[in-house]
Structures are given as C-alpha cells and as structure tokens.
Chain A
Amino acid sequence: MQFLSYLINGLGLGSVYAIIALGYTMVYGIAKMLNFAHGDIIMVGAYIAFFAITKFSLPFPAALMAAILVCTVLGVVIERLAYKPLRQATSLAVLITAIGVSYFLQNGAQILWSSSSKVFPSVISSGEIRLGSASVSYLTLITIATCIVVMICLTLFINKTKTGSAMRACSEDKGASMLMGINVNRIISITFAIGSGLAAIASVLLASTYPSVYPTMGSMPGIKAFTAAVFGGIGSIPGAFVGGLILGIIEIFAKAYISTQLSDAIVFAVLIVILLIKPTGLLGKKINVKV
C-alpha cells in the first residue's frame, strides 16, 4: 500500500507547516500583521542548531534549546525595534517593514555564514517502522508527534492560563483589554516569543527532513505556511493546524500521483478553489477562539 506511506509522509510535512503556520496565525490574531520575516527566523534557528551540533558538538536536545532561545530573543527584539514603533501605522507600512526585516536577516546570514548551503547532520536516527506494507521513518513519526504535543500545549496555554486569556482578550479587542488592565505590549511580545520559539522547533525538523541549511531556506516554507494559515482561516489556531496538515498531504500526493515539478502549482490551485468555496478559510469565523 503506497497510499498509506504517502499519507503519513504528507502528515509529516504538514506537521512542519502547521508549526510554522501557528506562529503566523498567532501574530496575525494579536498584532493584526503579516509577519513576513517569520520564514527567516526559521533559517536563523536552523543555523543556530547546525553550529551548536557541528562546532560546539552539543547533544541534540541542547542544540534544540539553543535554537529556541536565540529565535525567541530574536523575535522579541525584532518586534521591539521594528514593529512596535508602527503600532498605529497602516498594515501595509508594517508589511513593508516586515519585508525589510526579512531582507535584513537573509543578507545578514549571507554575510555571517556565506551563501553556500551546509549539510545538516542527521541527528534523529534514520530507522524505519513498518506499518503493514508501508514503511515510515522515525523522523516523520517524531515530526508528527512534536506537532501534536505543540498543539496540545498551545491549546492548554491559551485556554487555561491567565496569559492565555489575556491573549484571547487582546485578539478580540485591544482597547477594551487595555481598560481591563492587560498590558497589551507585553502580550504582543509574548506572542512574538512563542511564535519564534515554534519557528525554531520547526527549523530543526525541517533541516532534518531536507538536510541543507542556506540563507534563503526559510522563504518557501514560510510562504507555504502562510498559505496554510490562510487556508485554515487566519487568526485561528486549530485552523493553522488543520490547514498545515492538509497542505502537506496535498503536496505529497500531488508529487506522488501527478507531477513533481507541478506540485507547487497544484497546491496553490487547490488553495484558490477552497477559498472560492469558503472565502474565510476552513475554520475562519466559526471558531471564536482567535489568538
């Protein structure tokens, strides 16, 4: 059964997209901005993990923690310096600033670490599990498991903690939440921190699946994840999760059954068709939990 292994591989790729899309959708829900630099935070995370493993020969969990730490700090710093002064500006101005940040990160990485691609060491064992007649690599299973864990933790955090409810309040009405004594600036910083931390996790999974690290590696997964977030209904956390998974499955199926080269075209064509049927994405408006 080839179908089953394609499906699981699709879920694996979709999990990576979902984790990245969560970052997009959270930032959109709270700050109402499209953070185009999100994809480049992934790239920074991958480089940090790469150097932690090869140069400082840290064990994998430590490298992952280093990547998460650096990305989180980077996300918060970028928000403070580039986005916070534009809180009152039009969304297009913020969008262009985010593009500027994206250029900055890409070209900074090119100067610091050269534009040639580096081979990411295989840290997750390359074994396989047989499920009936289909074989699935450990890496794919770990990716899917990570995505589920991230999703559960995030849902709990947003629904059960005080900060989480503050986030929900901010996404609904910033002015009213300010009057209720919520520090909106702090909440936005936390959102950027969480989104960037998730990007770091995604970066390590992505670099393990496609083992090369280069300055523009984040842009294509970034665009796909953004698509996934819109697909599921931007601003909705379950939407980003579902959108990411579906996007991954469509991509792998298109590659397997139709054409490898045209797979991107097929993914985006399906997206247009779905938006025609459901103009606010799969789980748009229906979900009240918008963060």
Chain B
Amino acid sequence: MNKISSILSRSQDKQKRGRVLSFAIVIIAYIIIEIMLKTGSLSSLFSSLLVPVTCYVVAAIGLNLNVGISGELNLGQAGFMSVGAFCAVCVSGILAGTVTAGIPRLIISMICGAALAAFFGFLIGIPVLKLQGDYLAIVTLAFGQIIKSVFMNAYIGIDSEGLHYSFVDSSFKLQPGGKMLLNGPMGATGTAKIANFTVGIVLIIIALLIVYNLMFSRSGRAIMAARDNRIAAESVGIPISRTKMLAFVVSAALAGAAGALYGLNYSTLVPNKFDFNTSILILVYVVLGGLGNMTGTIISTVILILLPELLRSLQDYRMLIYAVVLILIMLVTNNEQLKSKWKSLTGRKAKGGASNG
C-alpha cells in the first residue's frame, strides 16, 4: 500500500515538474526575446515570425489535447483557425469606429473568434459522438475543406446601413465610406494590424493553464480513460460522448483564438492560408513533440517553424531537407533497432565528452 502511494506521488511530482517546466520555458523565452528586441539583435525576419509562432503553438496545444489526450485524430485544425481568424477580422473591422484602442479590440475579437470556433467545434463534435478512428478523421478533414470553400465565396461588407453579405459575388452596393471586410478568394484586406507578441505569449500561458487544469481534473481523467479503453470507461459510468465533446470544443476554441491572433497580425489574409496542408503541419508539430506532452509540442512547433527559415540559404532544397529530416526523425524515434543504435551512438558520445572534460 505504501509502495503504491509512493509511486503515485512520485508520478504526480513528475507531472507537476513537467507543468512547471513548460511555463518556465515560455516565460524565459519571452524574457530573452524581449531583451533581444529591445537591443535590436533580432533580425527582422525572426521578429516577423514571433506572432505566427505563438499562434501555431496555441493551435498545436489545442490539437494535442484532441489527439494526445482525447485520442481522436483531427485533420481540420486549420479550419477552426480559419473560423477564428475571419471572425476576428470582421469583428475588429466592425468595432474599428467604436473601440479605438488596439488591445481591447484585439481581446474582444479573439474572444469572438474563439467562441465561434467553439460553436463550430460543437457542430462538428456531433458526428464525433457517433464515429470512431479514421471515419472521424475524415469528417474533420471534410470540415476543413468546407470552411475553406465557404470563405473563398464569402463577401461581407459594412457601411452606414449595417452589414451586407453574399455568397455569390460582391454585387451589393456599399454606401460611401463603407468597407469590404471579406472579399471572396482575396480574403480579408486592409486589416488593422493590432496583434502583438506579448498577447501571443499570454495566450500560450492561458492555453497551457486551460489544458493542464482540464488534464488533471475529474473530466480530464475521464477523457484519458475513454481514450485508453472505451468499453471499460463506459462500464464505470463515464459519459464517453460528453467527455470527448469537451476535449473537442476546447481544442477548437484554442485554435479559434490562435487563428484570431494570426488574422489580426497581417493586413491581408487569404482563405487558402488555412488549407489541409496547414492542418497537417500542426499535426506534425504535435506528433513530433510527443502525444500528450505540451512542453514537447511547444518546442517542436518552434523548431519546425524556424527550421525552413534557418535553411533559407539552401533555397530550393530547404523543403526537401525538411521532408528528409521529418522522415528520419520518425524512423529514429519509432523503430526499435534504429532507436537502440541511436542510443548507443549518443551514449558513446556522452561518455567521450565526459572523459575529455
């Protein structure tokens, strides 16, 4: 009995350490980057990447909740980002006259984006209750495609008479002084860039708080139990569909908030930005970082976004090398033989280093 409780408390300690580590990494990274920004030692390329990186980190944390904790493959995370982004752009455009300060408008827009994405998450979650495995994956894939084609055909304008919208073309006439918010395939243009890096970091911390609180709560344990053994979980009275829905909606809301921040970071945003490839890219961040491991997700997202930029000098070959690196990492981390070889290699290296030092 004592042994069990000591093992339990040790594993809880480990989880706690993991949690503290992820917050520490985010805060230390923020401080270092802020110092570098102040001293001007960050190239313009990297400083332009700061906000997108935080957006993808939040979206990936959300997806990890879905794929890692809840165990459901989601191929449409970019769809939820898209909903959040275009909703936020519209809200920000509508509020431009009334709420002039950037930060409050950004926060209101992000909340609206997250709420709308959560609503869509709920709608898509209904099939989630019925389907399993690859059939669920295809529904999320289909959702991403539908959202993309809907925004490709959405025309929304605002003028003194209120909102105008159409799904055919921009045939409606706007009063003088009116403004197009969404312009079909051209997307949102002329958006006020009100996103900033600090808000992104705060969003990451909020996302981590939400996900950790969920993971280590009663509902979180129910979600993981439903993932590990659906039948056993059901037999002890866990409402499977409700717990899975919870994870799905929270994941969608985080993606929506991330998308909102992303959308308000650029003056133009096309619907094609959030296509199937983006969903897949976020999935790659999650799987490489480790399922259910939020610290790993943050690190792998940052590395994988920076990798193509660091390889920029190789020009055309950079994405080819990126692909090879991706395949090799998957092979090394998942094949038993290669894994042991890798371990012996790095082990020898470490020993060599110790004797030298």
A residues sitting closer than 8 Å to B (CB atoms) are 28, 34, 36, 82, 85-86, 88-90, 92-93, 95-97, 99-101, 103-104, 107-108, 110-111, 219, 223, 226-227, 230, 234, 259, 261-265, 268-269, 271-272, 275-276, 279-281
Contacts and interface: CB of A to CB of B under 8 A. Distances in A.
Chain B interface size band reads 35 or more
A99 B131 contact: no
B138 A101 contact: no
Contacts of B167: 262
Given A86-B330, A96-B283, A262 B323 contact: no
B170 interface: no
B146 A88 contact: no
Nearest to B147: A265
B153 A227 contact: no
B141 A227 contact: yes
B335 A85 contact: yes
B323 A268 contact: no
Contacts of B284: 96, 99
A137 B135 CA distance: 36
Contacts of A90: 334
Given A100-B323, A227-B141, A272-B143, A34 B127 contact: no
Nearest to A89: B334
A153 B245 CA distance: 44
A96 B288 contact: yes
Q: Which 7 residue pairs spanning A and B have beta carbons closest together?
A: A268-B142, A103-B323, A89-B334, A100-B326, A104-B323, A100-B327, A265-B149
B131 A107 contact: no
Contact of B330 (A96, A264, A271): A96
Contacts of B316: 107, 110-111
A275 B322 CA distance: 36
Contacts of B317: 111
B334 A101 contact: no
B67 interface: yes
Interface in B106-145: 126-127, 130-132, 134-135, 137-139, 141-143, 145
A287 B291 CA distance: 34
Interface string B217-259: 0000000000000000000000000000000000000000000
B332 to A, nearest CB: 10
A275 B138 contact: yes
B331 A85 contact: yes
Contacts of B338: 85
A263 B127 CA distance: 22
A219 to B, nearest CB: 7
Contacts, number: 132
Give the secondary structure class of A's interface.
helix
Given A261-B153, A265-B146, A272-B143, A93 B334 contact: yes
Contacts of B73: 92, 95
A44 to B, nearest CB: 15
A271 B131 CA distance: 13
A269 B327 contact: no
Contact of B130 (A108, A279, A281): A279
Nearest to A284: B135
A219 B135 contact: no
A92 B276 contact: no
A18 B261 CA distance: 41
Contact of A92 (B168, B277, B291, B336): B291
B182 to A, nearest CB: 14
Interface string B307-338: 00000000011011011101100110111111
Contact of A271 (B138, B148, B331): B138
B205 interface: no
B150 interface: yes
Nearest to A104: B323
Given A82-B331, A111-B316, A269-B146, A281 B135 contact: yes
A183 to B, nearest CB: 20
B139 A275 contact: yes
Contacts of A107: 316, 319-320, 322-323
Contact of A93 (B132, B146, B152, B287): B287
Given A265-B146, A265-B150, A86 B130 contact: no
Nearest to A101: B327
A36 B280 CA distance: 10
A101 B328 CA distance: 11
A110 B315 CA distance: 12
A230 B323 contact: no
A82 B126 CA distance: 36
Contacts of B148: 264
* Interface hub of B138, B287, B322, B335 (most chain A Cβ within 10 A): B138
A227 B320 contact: no
